[in-house]
Amino acid sequence: MINEFIYLMKHELMLCVILFSLLIMKIASNDENSGRWHLMINLLLLVNLLVGFCYNISGELFNGMFQSSELIQLEKNILNLGLLIISLQAHPYTRTHRHAPEFYILLLSSVLGMFFMLSSGHLLLFYIGLELSTIPLAALANFNLNKSASSEAGMKMIMSSAFSSAFLLMGISLMYGTTGSLSFSEITLQLTGAPLQVFAFVMLFVGFAFKLSIVPFHFWTADVYEGAPVSVAAFLSVISKSAIAFVFVTVLYSVFESMVNVWYILLFITAVLTIGIGNLFALRQENIKRFLAFSSIAQVGFILVGISGGTQESEASVIYFLLIYIFSNLGAFGVVNIVSSITSKESINDYKGFYKTNPALSWIMTISLFSLAGIPPTAGFFGKLFLLTAGASTGNYVLIAFAAINMVVSMYYYLRIVKAMFMEANEHPIQKISFSLFPSIALIICIVGILLTGFSGNLYTYIYELSIGI
Amino acid sequence: MNLHLLVIAPIVTAVFILFFKELRQVRMIALLGAGFQLIISVLLLSTFCNERAAGNTAPMLFYNSVEWFSPLGIAFTTGIDGISLSMILLSAFVVLAGVLVSWKMEKMSREFFFLLTLLSAGAYGFFISLDLFTLFFFLEIAVIPKFMLIGIWGSGRKEYSAMKLALMLMAGSAFVFLGLLGLYFSTNVGNGQHTFDFIAISRSAIPLDTQLLFFPLAFIGFGIFGALFPFHTWVPDGHSSAPTAASMFLAGISMKLGGYGCLRVATYLMPEAAHVYAPYIILLATIAIIYGAFATMMQTDLKYINAYSSVSHCGFVLLGIGMLNETAIAGAVMQMISHGLMTALFFAAIGMIYERTHTRMVAQLGGLLKVMPFISTIFIISGLCSLGLPGFSGFVAEMTVFMGSWQHTEMFYRIATILSCASIVVTAVYILRAAGKSIMGPLANEQHLSLGDATWNEKSAAVLLLSGIVVIGIAPFWLNELISPDVNGLMVNIGRTFIP
Amino acid sequence: MSEIPLEHLLMLSTALFFIGAYGFLTRRNMIAMLMSLELMLNSVNINFIVFNKYLFPDTIEGLGFTIFIIAIAAAEAAVAIAIIINLYRNTKNIDAENADHLKH
Amino acid sequence: MSLATTIQLIVLLPLGSFLLLGIFGRKYLSSLSGMIGTTSLLVSAILSIQTAYQYFFLNTAGSFEKIIAWKMTWLTFSEGVSIDMGILVDPISVMMLVVVTVVSLMVHVYSLGYMKGDERFATYYSFLSLFTFSMLGLVIAVNIFQIYMFWELVGVSSFLLIGYYFEKPSAVAASKKAFIVTRFADLGFLIGILILGFEAKTLDFVTLIERLTTSNSPYLVSATTASFLGASALTWGLLLVFMGGAGKSAMFPLHIWLPDAMEGPTPVSALIHAATMVVAGVFLVARLFPIFSISCPGALEVVMWTGVISALFAALIACTQTDIKRVLAYSTMSQIGYMMFALGVSGYGNEAGLGFTASMFHLFTHAFFKALLFLGAGAVIHYIHSNEMKDMGGLRKSMPITHITFLIACLAIAGIPPFAGFFSKEEILTAAHHANPMVYYIALLTAGITAFYMFRLYYNIFWSKEAKTAHHDDDHHGEGTWSMKIPLLILSVGAIAAGFIPFGSFVSSDGHPLHIPFEISAAILPVIIAVSGIALATLFYKTENDRPDKLSASFQGIYKTAYHKFYIDEIYLFITKKIVFNLIAQPSAWVDKNIIDGSMNGLASLVVWKSNLIKSIQSGKVQDYALYFFLAAFGITALTIYLVN
């Protein structure tokens, strides 16, 4: 019994252990910013990642409120991996920051919230997890305490998320009113498709949409990314997005399965909007963080296309894509992180002639961007095409055609940066940057991931076997 | 014989290149790699011919399939027939020549040769894959290196052209992908599973309305690669801004991906739709041929001249395909090969001239025959080849297309054919104008007197390509024997709804 | 004493929700915005309690949820106010209109 | 040696020397190249004469059959339809073998002296060999496509040789003109081939002719019934093929390239633009003659009129030209006109086929005296360093051999017995007389004019005033080396003797020997006219006087038009420059640049414009965001509920 409990909640428990040890250290020690300390925390996260892989069993706790399966644990492991990469990349930033431990505490508690959300079998736990993952992020967005942009970002984030959670709660309450239960299994049985229920569902959907920054609920995204520290922006765009997407797929496919006609319409509309608007805004960005924000919005649109398929392939493709997306996006953010934390240059024009001074970084950036754009042989190619293939299974080729054409548009702005780095001259290019071990490890992980994940058909097959679909 | 070698060899070469920095080492490795590829392809040819001679009439030889993304019905399936084999040979020739002409690429040589080799890997992969997804994968692999090659090492409005090329080709592949998805979902291998397997799809009867929807997508998609009017505008800019080797690859290989795809994927897999759309294809092809030729007349830049003439010549490929009969399709395949070699040679010659005189403007050139006899001779020869002189490959290909086209008795087809024939006159006009001004005539610029003739590497590149051209031109029968059985094979499918 | 019908209470909560939303959208002062947010959350609370009492009296899921909402709202408000204070430190005002340096 | 190997050798020897000289000539054996080329040609000339001897004299059968000595399938289009390479031996091909090799040999020898010291000596000889190879391949073709291929090769080697002095813009222009005009004609040829091949389902001459001549054969029936614009497919096919022939043979109105082609070295003009290549058109018509005359007399009519018009037209122009090579060029054109209409008036089979024989006969003799004329002119130019009559005169003393031979040639072309031209021309006129009096009288007139302008030329060169360039005598090289004189002598022997060959017993339309009775009565009138022409010329040009100017003044209008070649060139220029370039090429280039490319770029800019349009919604105010959120939430709800129900 007890060890089943441990096995099922091992991810959460592990995180709690790290959190508390951090708290204690914060209280106990006074030189929390030494290199030793950073090494330690990253090692802890590595351990955390590795622990995630052992004893994968599926079951449920607290009579169904907390449930776990191999798939969920896989997703948690993916998140852990991303977390590790981010903490490695954050090194140049945190090393110079007064409150490094708080940074990690907030980060980890947010991840903890995501884990709860992932394993939630009950709307209450889901809600708690959601808030737990959101609120610390708002604080993190504000982590450059004396930068006005940063605090503006934090403000925008907390305000909009609170506003959206009000809608989410409204949806939950109505769902409760119409089904008489808050646990997913119960709700599934009670769905009738009555208008009020549809309304409730749409409100839930909106809550998700906000977190996934689906157009038209995306407005906070770009501002927050721009204002927040790069590592936080990376976390927002990769980890929290993937977590929500995982939950989204499970909720749609297993809980609201019978409402497929409703959410297909929703997905169709929002996917078109998300891809289109995301691209149109990404086209005209000059700040690279903001650019990445909008590009990630567009990426979400593709995820929606994949989800709309509703088959086992769809679920597998979405998870597979998110894994690849973590590598690709973190690769790009990693470079941006290093550049901005060392030279504090964040405009795309600053990257002109980048190749002359930093060939390695430029290649990493290029490969990551190619992967985001879906250009072979990078993994992004496979990820994106599988999403489209999954989406096409509904026979709605209009959506697919739209997405495919937008892939070309996105190609333009990704290549634009490559062009800036390789082809355009610049009298004051970014100087030669030398950076510490941690970020380079992170970047290497990303590149290896980008180059290998795509070709590993077995990985896809593995995910495919775990996933259920409708 | 394992076809994977064709893909592995370039990739290994590319990886090796990354380990070196000096131009001397890098180009040596690239050269070895390219030579090795050529050797492989020739070996492949011999084994292929033996197999066929031994009476192996399987549609695809050296068939081999490796599980990849089995849930999605994607496998790494490879195999070749005469058509793809000839394409592989073409690529091998062009790659080797390309490496040779870019022998003195000082600027960022490592990256240059790396991308060049990667590009060839894409081409080989495309020609050997029998799985539509893999095919598409390699098709796209062949795009982005071009973007980098043009954008970094190009000349003129290089960024613009590079971006334009990349975007248009990507748009093309987007269309292709939609077409492939249509095919994919119209297959069924039990319990709702679909497959990308080429042969399986070719055997499955695809409903006509599906074909009518997806044939245009696939055909236009590949057509953009193959300079289908009016989606050809990347060709002039791309070719003219690209460095010599890249232009050679573009014209010699990339545009062939398009033609090959139009034939193999679009037309072969969706024959009924092909018959429905044939008139439109022929219309566009004819426009491309005649209009491309006339547009060429007005060009003043040697590379633009050749680029536009490529539009015109690739029109013959699409014309042959659109005619949907055995002779014409055989002609189209021949034209692909011929055009590949010839245009590559032409671009090589132009590149050599440009390297020396630093201009490509016809007006600023003149009397080069006196200064650089070899290069000028090469220039004239490739010009003569492109105006379809007997003894060179162009003649064989074009005549085959014409003979095939003439077999349609409808007035529309006849007019299309006559117009296409008329283009050979226009071709003669612009080729002779270019040659007459820049190669013959009085010396335009006294400084040119000091210029030297071709170096050994340029000579060998030219001779390599020239040998291909001449061999096909003198003895077309072997090429015909190589491809015609497989064209027959294609016709079994394509002709299955042929309305005489 | 006669019981208040469910509909009325629902109307109340709905009204409260929209009043809150209106406040959130119109008030310039961020603190005021937070307060209107509280209104929205409370309307949700009313929903939960009402549903619980009228439709499913034999469970207490709704009531439990309410408690959690209140708690989390408090936490949210705390963080929000902290951030607002920080913003005030940096820009010397807490007018939502003026916090628009990140845009387009 | 078997017939096949002999002829293969004849053809391949020049090819060999072409490759040898073309690849290694410049560097290694530039001095030897002349000898190499000449020897290889000598061998093939001997071989071809021997072949002719075998074929004509050791032939036991009563008639001369078409023999396919050797044949291979070169490229298969569809079953039955294929390009074959092979050797077709029949009277005309054998005759042509002899003509080509002999004249070519003469030119090779002549060039040894004429081109001596030229820096691209080797290239020159390799081009000559290339031409000879292609011409030989043309005459032995078994397959209409084979003839087309060598046809093109001949064209390109002519292009290369005209443009041999590539630094002279005029030479380059002339070579381009020659190639493009003939190319245009070949377009017709090609389409003609497509039509004939499609109708007859074969490209082999023998089968083709057999299928399209045997009455009520299905092919013939379909070919004659399928009609387009009033004419049957067969007529179209033949006319288009003839268009090709007319282009090569410089028939009106496709003749404009021939005069300019004189920019090439004179020996080249002698070989290509007088004796051999330009008669390819005649040869082609002769090759397909059975089809013309049996199945499609209409087309033959066209051939005849084209020939007649060209003959007269060219003769008229020739009277006014002052560049001696151009005069010769126009006389060539006019003589070929003779051959053409001779074919045109001919029928098929024994007696009716007189015209055919005559035409071939004239082709044969013409080759000799015209080559002779050109080589003579070459010698003169070599001596004077000018082509213009006004720079010449009184050269009979300083270059006696040239003078004599040139005179012989002039007499021959003027048709004075007993020289070669007399016999052939006489036959042609007889044939025309039988067939069509109209043609006959025009032909007579032309004969007169021919005699006139030839002697105008002759007197202007060798008599009349003293040459301004007489002071050359000290430094000059006389008449040139013996290598230049020997060919003149040999050819003049030909020009005298060739007429006595009983040609009809060898070459005839159907292969059966044809005995042509020589009737004095018919010969008298032409001779009188020719003599009067000569007399007139003597009167005007023997000594320097002002009669010519008076004459030209009195015929002001006609003279000017003739002098300007009837403005044909100008018409062509108008069509190409004004219409093709300005109205077709430029617009298409413009459309491509602006409309098509513009639309592609327009797409891109449209997207950018859109993105600028919507940038304002990202206002940066959190409350706006909340508002959008609010509206979107309820909007989507409403929409969904609406769509679901």
Q: Along the 470 residues of chain A, how does pLDDT read in single tens digits? A: 788 888 889 999 999 999 999 888 888 876 656 777 888 889 999 999 998 888 888 888 888 889 999 999 999 999 999 999 999 999 888 888 888 888 999 999 999 999 999 999 999 999 999 999 999 999 999 999 889 999 999 999 999 999 999 999 999 999 999 998 899 999 999 888 888 999 999 999 999 999 999 988 999 999 999 999 999 999 999 999 999 999 999 999 999 998 898 999 999 999 999 999 999 999 889 999 999 999 999 999 999 999 999 889 999 999 999 999 999 999 999 999 999 888 888 899 999 999 989 999 999 999 999 999 999 889 999 999 999 999 998 888 999 999 999 999 999 999 999 999 998 888 888 888 888 889 999 999 999 999 999 888 899 999 999 988 77
Residue A233 structure tokens: 């922006």
Partner residue facing B70 (CB), from A395, A411, A461:
A461
Quick one: closest CA in B to A467, which residue?
Answer: B71
In a domain, C98, yes or no: no
Contact D637 A202 (CB under 8 A): yes
List, as one string, the DSSP characters of D185-214.
HHHHHHHHHHHHHHHHT--BHHHHHHHHHS
Using the beta-carbon criterion (under 8 Å), do A131 and C75 form an inter-chain contact? Answer: yes
Task: Answer yes or no: do B174 and A408 touch at CB < 8 A.
Answer: yes
D604 touches chain A (CB under 8 A): yes
CA atoms in the 13 A half-sphere facing the CB of D446 = 31
Q: Give the residue from D148, D121, D147, D163 showing the smallest Cα distance to D22.
A: D121
What whole-number distance in Å separates Cα of residue B56 and Cα of residue B54? 6
Residue type, D8: Q
Min Cα distance A216 → chain D (Å) is 7
Contact pairs from chain A to chain D, CB under 8 Å = 81
Given CB atoms, is A92 within the 8 Å cutoff of chain C?
Answer: no
What is the domain range of residue C65? 6-92
Residue C74 lies in a domain: yes
CA nearest to D616 within chain C? C104
Query: What's the CA gap between C9 and D566, in Å, rounded?
Result: 107
Distance, in Å, from the CA atom of B391 to the CA atom of B413, rounded to the nearest integer, reads: 28
CA angle D570, D572, D575 (to 5 degrees): 110
Measured between CA atoms, the residue of chain C closest to residue D622 is C96
Query: What's the confidence (pLDDT) of residue C1?
Result: 55
Cβ of A404 within 8 Å of Cβ of B182? The answer is: no
Find where tokens 């090589």 sit: B348
CA-based diameter of chain B, in Å? 76
Q: In this structure, is residue C97 part of a structural domain? A: no
* Closest alpha carbon within chain A to D616: A281
Does D75 sit within 8 Å of B476, measured CB to CB? yes
Angstrom distance (rounded) from CA A153 to CA B356: 58
CB contact under 8 A, D626 and C25: yes
Q: Which residue has the higher pLDDT, A169 or D21?
A: A169
Tokens of D239: 């006319």
Residues of chain B contacting D153 with CB distance shorter than 8 Å: 389-391
Q: Determine, for residues A166 and C20 on separate chains, whether the beta-carbon distance falls below 8 Å.
A: yes
Q: Which residue, chain included where needed, has tokens 């990078």? A: A378
Rounded to whole angstroms, how far apart are CA atoms D339 and D417? 19
Instruction: Report the phi/psi class of residue B192: left, alpha or beta, with left for phi > 0 and alpha for psi in -120 to 50.
Output: left
CB of C43 closer than 8 Å to CB of A173: no
Does the beta carbon of A233 lie under 8 angstroms from any beta carbon of chain D?
A: no
Question: If pLDDT is split at 50, 70 and 90, which confidence band does B498 have?
Answer: very low
Q: What is the pTM of this model?
A: 0.92
Tokens in use for A227? 């204002």
More confident residue, A112 or D389: A112
Tokens of B231: 């989606």
Please give the Cα distance from D24 to D39 (Å, whole number).
17
Phi, psi angles (nearest 5°) of residue D418 = -100, 25
Residue C49 belongs to a domain with what CATH number?
A: 1.10.287.3510
C-beta atoms of C26 and D623 within 8 A: yes
**Which is it for strands B61-69 and D227-228: parallel, antiparallel or unpaired?**
unpaired
Query: pLDDT tens-digit profile of B280-304?
Result: 999 999 999 998 899 898 888 999 9
Torsion angles phi and psi, residue C33, rounded to 5: -60, -45
C-alpha–C-alpha distance, residues B133 and B73, integer Å: 9
| B420 close contact with D: CB closer than 8 A | no
- D31 pLDDT above the threshold of 80: no
DSSP-assigned states of every residue in D333-394: HHHHHHHHHHHHH--SSTGGGHHHHHHHHHHHHHHHHHHHHHHHHHHHHHHHS--BGGG---
Chains in contact with D, where contact requires at least 3 CB pairs less than 8 Å apart: A, B, C
Question: Which stretches of B40-189 are assigned E, i.e. beta strand?
Answer: 61-69, 74-80
Helices A379-392 and A437-453, axial angle in degrees (round to 10)? 50
A398 contacts: CB under 8 Å, gap ≥ 6: none
Candidate from D75, D156, D596 with C-beta closest to B389 = D156
- Tokens 């297309």 belong to residue: B401
- Tell me the average pLDDT of chain D: 86
pLDDT of residue D598: 86
Q: What is the dihedral of CA D455, D461, D464, D468, to 10 degrees?
A: 160
Residue B250 has pLDDT above 50, yes or no: yes
Identity of the residue numbered A125: L
Q: Once rounded to an integer, what is the mean pLDDT over residues D479-497?
A: 84
Please name the chains neighbouring B, where neighbouring means 3+ C-beta pairs under 8 angstroms. A, D
Name the stretches of chain C with pLDDT < 70.
1
Domain contains C78: yes
Whether cis (ω within 30° of 0) applies to the bond prior to B230 is yes
Residue of D nearest to C29 (CA): D623
Select from A302, A385, A417 the residue whose CB has the most chain B CBs within 10 Å, as the one to mutate to test that interface. A385
Any contact of C with B, at least 3 CB pairs below 8 A? no
The answer to whether residue A102 neighbours chain C at the CB level (below 8 Å) is no
Give the model's pLDDT for residue A66: 92
Residue type at B482 in one-letter notation: L
Q: Indicate if the alpha-carbon torsion angle A376, A380, A386, A392 is positive or negative.
A: negative
Count the neighbouring beta carbons within 10 Å of the beta carbon of residue B65: 14
Question: What is the ipTM for the molecules in this complex?
Answer: 0.90
The answer to whether residue C71 is domain-embedded is yes
Q: Which chain A residues touch D636 with a CB distance below 8 Å?
A: 202, 206, 266, 269-270
For C17, name the nearest residue in chain D, comparing CA atoms only: D630
Chain D residues whose beta carbon lies within 8 Å of the beta carbon of residue A198: 637, 640-641, 644
Asked, for residue C56, whether it belongs to a domain, the answer is: yes
Confirm if A462 and A387 have CB atoms less than 8 A apart.
Answer: no
DSSP 8-state code for residue C2: P
DSSP code of residue B190: S
User: Domain total for chain C?
Assistant: 1
Residue with tokens 């073409």: B90
Q: Which residue has the tokens 């020549």?
A: B97
Nearest-CA distance from C7 to chain A in Å? Answer: 12
- The reply to whether residue B436 touches residue D172, judged by beta carbons under 8 angstroms, is yes
Which of A75-89, B343-357, B429-443, D16-30 is least confident? Answer: D16-30
**What is the number of other CB atoms lying within 10 angstroms of the CB of residue D459?**
21
Among A398-407, B49-58, B321-330, C20-29, the least confident range:
B49-58
For residue D630, the chain C residues in CB contact (below 8 A) are: 21, 25
**Residues A452/B4/B129/B493 CA torsion (nearest 10 deg):** -160
Q: Which chains touch C (3 or more CB pairs under 8 A)?
A: A, D
Q: How far A248 CA sits from the closest chain D CA (Å)?
A: 17
What pLDDT is stored for residue D516 in this prediction? 77
Contact residues on chain C for A131, CB-CB shorter than 8 A: 72, 75-76
D564-592: average pLDDT: 83
Beta bridge partners of C14: none
Interface test with A, best of D637, D643, D644 (most A CBs within 10 A): D637
The dihedral region occupied by D392, where left means phi > 0, alpha psi between -120 and 50, and beta the remainder, is: beta
Residue B240 identity (one-letter amino acid):
S
Query: Among A404, A422, A460, whose Cβ lies nearest the Cβ of B151?
Result: A422
Answer yes or no: is C1 within a domain. Answer: no
Contacts of D623 in chain C (CB under 8 A): 24-26, 33, 96-97
Compute CA B277 distance to the chain's CA centroid, rounded to the nearest angstrom.
23
Query: Is a pLDDT exceeding 80 seen at residue D78?
Result: yes
Peptide bond into A377 cis (omega under 30): yes
The nearest alpha carbon in chain D to C33 belongs to: D623
Least CA distance to D624: which residue of chain C?
A: C25
CB contact under 8 A, B400 and D156: no
Q: Give, rounded to a whole angstrom, the gap between the first and last alpha carbons of chain B.
A: 41
- Kindly tell me if the per-residue pLDDT of D29 is higher than 80: no
- Residues 407-436 of chain D with CB under 8 A from chain A are none
* Contact assessment for residue A26 and residue A32, using Cβ atoms and an 8 Å cutoff: yes
Residues of A within 8 A of D640 (CB-CB) are: 198, 202, 262, 265-266
The DSSP output letter for B388 is T
Partner-chain residue, chosen from B69, B151, B181, that has the shortest CB–CB distance to A457 = B69
pLDDT at residue D475 above 60? no
Domain ranges of chain A: 2-466
Q: Which residue of B384, B422, B441 is in closest CB contact with D156?
A: B384
Compute the half-sphere exposure of residue A284: CA atoms within 13 Å on the CB side of its CA.
20
Residue found under tokens 């809608």 = A167
Contact D172 B326 (CB under 8 A): no
Cβ separation of B367 and D167 shorter than 8 Å? yes
Mean per-residue pLDDT of chain B: 90
Task: Tell me if chain C has a CB within 8 Å of the CB of A193.
Answer: no
Residue C59 lies in a domain: yes
Collect all residues of chain B within an 8 Å Cβ-Cβ radius of residue D197.
Answer: 403, 406
- Which band of pLDDT confidence, cut at 50, 70 and 90, is reported for residue D467? low
> CB under 8 Å to B223, separation ≥6 — which residues?
B172, B231, B258, B262, B284, B318
Q: Which residues contact B364 (CB under 8 A, 6 or more apart)?
A: B357, B444, B445
pLDDT of residue D232: 85
D501 secondary structure, DSSP code: S
Taking CA atoms, what residue in B is nearest to A363? Answer: B111
Q: How far apart are CA C73 and CA D162, in angstroms?
A: 96
